[in-house]
């Protein structure tokens, strides 16, 4: 089973930085891009670090309400996510689920019988999204939205040993590339 794992902040919306989940808004193009993946039968998962829960900036209930609002917006545009995987822990908790660790990906693999080598990660941060994809043997698509430009320049040293399979202008461009790659 093939799937695409999307980072939230900076990839499907927001700014790339921490934003309160009830204030999060998707980029205008995100629902259509997700719908394109839905229509070709690819599972679409959200996977996101939400360390601000662990640090007390907002509650897990607020985070879940934000996810619900996002899913309602997707549904209103005939798009959907097949699942949401998130890490609420602080960095110092040293958990297995916080990207660049691959606990979230392994959970989805187990639950949905995925072959991660046939799956994609789309994200805006090299130091977490691309490193996680690389560790899991997945295809890596870096978007230039959010922290993407900075990941390619100022913060490239954090993930210099990894090359993305594709650098996309945004999620729409990423989905077009994934669609072409699946046809190979």
Q: Which residue numbers belong to the known binding site?
A: 7, 9, 87, 89, 95, 97, 124
Q: How many CA atoms lie within 13 A of 152 on its CB side?
A: 15
CA distances from 96 to 17, 29, 88, 103 (A): 22, 32, 11, 5
**Residue 9 annotated in active site:** yes
Q: Any residues with CB less than 8 A from the CB of 96 and at least 6 apart, and which?
A: 102, 103
Catalytic residue check, 93: no
* Cα–Cα distance, 128 to 146 (Å, whole number): 13
Give the residue ranges of the annotated binding site for Mg(2+).
7, 9, 124
DSSP 98: S
Per the residue annotation, which of 9, 28, 165, 169 is the catalytic one? Answer: 9
Catalytic residue among 7, 28, 93, 165: 7
On whether the CB atoms of residues 26 and 68 are closer than 8 A, the answer is: no
Residue ranges of the annotated binding site for Zn(2+) are: 87, 89, 95, 97
Is there a contact between 118 and 2 (Cβ–Cβ < 8 Å)? yes
The residues carrying an active-site annotation are 7, 9
């Amino acid at each position: 089973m093939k799937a695409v794992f999307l980072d939230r902040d900076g990839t499907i919306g927001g700014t790339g930085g921490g934003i309160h989940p009830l204030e999060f808004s998707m980029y205008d193009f995100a629902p259509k891009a997700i719908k394109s993946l839905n229509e070709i039968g690819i599972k679409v998962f959200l996977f996101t670090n939400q360390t601000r829960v662990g640090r007390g900036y907002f509650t897990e209930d607020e985070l879940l309400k934000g996810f619900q609002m996002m899913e309602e917006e997707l549904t209103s545009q005939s798009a959907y996510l097949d699942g949401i995987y998130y890490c609420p822990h602080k960095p110092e908790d040293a958990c297995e689920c916080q990207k660049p660790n691959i606990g979230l990906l392994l959970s989805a693999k187990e639950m949905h019988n995925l072959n991660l080598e046939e799956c994609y990660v789309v994200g805006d941060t090299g130091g977490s999204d691309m490193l996680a994809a690389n560790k899991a043997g997945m295809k890596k698509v870096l978007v230039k939205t959010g922290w993407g430009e900075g990941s390619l320049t100022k913060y490239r040293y954090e993930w210099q040993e990894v090359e993305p399979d594709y650098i996309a202008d945004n999620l729409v461009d990423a989905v077009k590339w994934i669609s072409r790659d699946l046809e190979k």
